[in-house]
Structure 1
Amino acid sequence: MEACGSAHYWARTIRSLGHQVKLLPAQHVKAFLLRDKTDAMDAQAIWVAAQQPHILPVPVKSERQQTCMALHGMRRQLMKMRIMQTNALRGIMSEFGIALPLGHSQLLKAIQAEMAKAQLEDRLPADLVVSVQEQLKRVDALDEDIEHIGHRLHATIRDDRQMQAVQRIPGVGDLTASALVASVGDFSTFKSGRQFASWVGLTPRQVGTGGKTQQLGISKRGDTYLRTLLIAGGARAVIAKSEKSAWITRLLERRHYNVAVVALANKMARTAWAVLAKGVAFDLVRWNPVELVKA
């Protein structure tokens, strides 16, 4: 079957009937679709793609995994709506000569004082003030909803040993740990940590012709949300700390800051594969051996 909408549900249902299910990535099946798209042509493309040894099947997700990813999806949607609300407030206020700082939290801290100051100077109409206050209440409600989903994800981690194991890796928090385990499930489907990092899109693209191979930037293939958590939510936060490991310090001496961030995200992904595929506990000595030897 193609790994498209509702495919995991039907895969679990067909498995319960005693059949073996193989889910194929939809973008790889599309390459074998000839001529017009019909049910017969789709079935033929799936059959041909299933014979290709280089196309890895998609692991069938459990209900628990799908529930976790659904919570992540709802949280992302709420955060997007919150950004839209605060950006709209910033634009509206700028039309009346009120400059608000960038960033969600910074805007909420400054907007009430700026509005009070503008009201004293008679620069804001009363109807606008009431409407802005109503929109701020909607932003507060979104904050509460996002916090509730965060609590549910935290409760999920308390009941999952794999999430707890990967959470010991520096830079892997609640969101990254739950998304890693829920989106992948069985890490043993990847032969190595590099293959998993390549699946996430954290390895360089390669262009080769005439026997010459050139490495470019990262491929950015695979799960965009998971890659964003590893880079922005994990690696960048670790490097931004005042106390950096010896490995990161040496890397920053010879590479650009953003290159070091992606390199650390790649290392985090490979370490997560080693912990979950091999079933070994996270080893801080192997993570940063030079610093501990000096200590």
Structure 2
Amino acid sequence: MISSKTVVGVDIAKRVFQLHWVEPDTGEVVSRQLKRDRFLEYFTNRSPCLIGMEACGGSQHWARQLTALGHEVKLMPACWVKPFCGSNKSDAQDARAIWSAVQQPGAKTVAVKTEAQQAVLALHRIRQQLVKFRTAQINGLRGLLTEYGEIMPLGRAALAKGVVAAFERIAERLPAVLIDTFREQWSRIATLDDQINEIERRLQVWHRNDASSRRIAEIPGVGLLTATAAIASIGDPRAFNSGRELAAWLGLVPRQSGTGGRLRLLGISKHGDTYLRTLLIHGARSVLTHSKAPPTWATKLAQRRPQNVAIVALANKMARTIWALLAHERRYQRDFVSKPTVP
């Protein structure tokens, strides 16, 4: 019987799960394998325990299931588990590493998301994949037309205007089978456009029905994609103690390198969610370069430092603002000045 204080490290897989724990009463080290269909059954009749898992594919599902059984689940980022793996790689070694990592003081964990939040992220991932497909199709068509002297203008809208005329010009001297194939390629690009627009329409419906998403969308530079992706990726804002922790989780803080008491700041760490970080940086770039009234501090920073430095600094500020609005359930105020908490 697992006591309430037992810490269990779980290495999940497709079919066989590896468990590792130490019996608190006897000190016995236990390493056990469980089939996938017996995993939940094993924990159903156990006393509540702390279960550590690496944040990977399927971990969110199992975390929700185990939490429903009364257990406490902590999802560990892979970078926090790796230092405890040692030199050899095996399922038993990974489970032991997770067991060690989850007990470390100050260990960072990944928030357990709801199924609705994961559904929104799934829409974002599918849209991102379709955008990559569309870009590949467009670049392929551009390259093929270049072989026949047709240089397409830059930009999606300019390409749409010029490609039909290009087909008519080369149709006079090239085989019909090739021209038909080109037109089919262009038709596939239009189909991808429709699919991407449909996903964005579904995200818009979800966005209108979610108060938190509408609230953070009031921040300059935060649009539909950034707002919905932030709500779904962050999960519970209370998982972060401050806005700076969220910015660090997104990799928007500088890396540090130092020795002998000397500390040197490098470029941003680029840890965490690449997709959400990219959306925030693109939003910050739009505010700084196209907004009629960009933040004064960001404009002054861009005058004395490279523009990308100012853009990342503004993205960092946007991430902190998002956390503040979510954690304190406030509306965005452009001229709001935070005050230190008096103990």
Contact 2:113 2:236 in 1 (8 A): no
Q: Find the counterpart in structure 1 of residue 17 from structure 2.
A: none
The 5 Å alignment of 1:113-124 reads 113-119=165-171, 122-124=172-174
Shift of residue 173, structure 1, vs aligned partner: 0.3
Larger Rg: 2
1:43 matches 2:95 = yes
Residues 87 and 47 from structure 1, CA distance in 2 versus in 1: closer, same or farther, beyond 3 angstroms? same
Structure (1 or 2) with the greater strand fraction: 2
Q: Cα deviation per residue 1:8-61 (whole Å; 9 max; x = unaligned)?
A: 111111111222211111232122112433332222111100111232111111
1:194 and 1:154 mapped to 2: Cα distance?
Answer: 29
Is 1:148 aligned to 2:198, yes or no?
A: yes
Which amino acid is the alignment partner of residue 161 of structure 2? K
Whether the 8 Å contact between 2:207 and 2:213 is mirrored in structure 1 is yes
State the distance in 1 between where 2:143 and 2:263 align.
Answer: 48
Bigger RCO (CA 8 Å, 6+ sep): 1
Matched, 1:102 2:154: yes
Structure 2 distance, partners of 1:125, 1:286, is 65
Q: Secondary structure at the match of 2:264?
A: strand
CA distance in 1, matches of 2:100, 2:217: 40
Matched with 1:6 is 58
Equivalent in the alignment of 2:248: 198
Distance 2:254 2:196 in 1: 34
**4+ residue runs over 4 A deviation:** none
Following the alignment from structure 1 to structure 2, what is the Cα–Cα distance between the partners of residues 206 and 9? Answer: 35
Task: Give the residue type in structure 2 aligned to 1:158.
Answer: R
Alpha-carbon deviations, 1:41-91, whole Å to 9, x = none?
222111100111232111111100110000000000000000010000000
Gaps of at least 5 residues in structure 1 are 288-295
> Residue 30 of structure 1 corresponds to which residue in structure 2?
82
Give the letter aligned to residue 155 of structure 2.
G
Cα separation, 2, equivalents of 1:256 and 1:79? 30
Tell me whether 1:68 sits opposite 2:125 in the alignment: no
Q: Measure, in 1, the Cα distance between the counterparts of 2:113 and 2:140.
A: 38
Distance in 2, matches of 1:214 and 1:248, equals: 23
Q: Deviations over 1:170-195 (max 9, x none)?
A: 00000000010100111122122111
**Which whole-Å deviations, capped at 9, do the CAs of 1:203-252 have from their partners, x for residues lacking one?**
111111111111111111111101100012x1111122151333333222
Choose the corresponding residue for 2:236, options 186, 195, 200: 186
SS in 1 for 2:152: coil
Residues 247 and 320, structure 2, Cα contact 8 Å, conserved in 1 = yes
Tell me which residue corresponds to 1:291. none
> Are 2:247 and 2:316, in contact at CA under 8 Å, matched by a contact in 1?
yes
- Are residue 225 (structure 1) and residue 275 (structure 2) matched? yes
TM-score (norm 2): 0.79
1:240 aligned to which of 273, 285, 289: 289
Instruction: Give the structure with the larger helix fraction.
Output: 1
Shift of 1:133: 0.6
How many residues are matched? 284
Q: TM-score, normalised on structure 1?
A: 0.92
Aligned residue for 1:87? 139
Contact 2:55 / 2:110 at 8 angstroms: preserved in 1? yes
What CA distance in whole angstroms lies between the structure 2 residues aligned with 1:184 and 1:82? 28
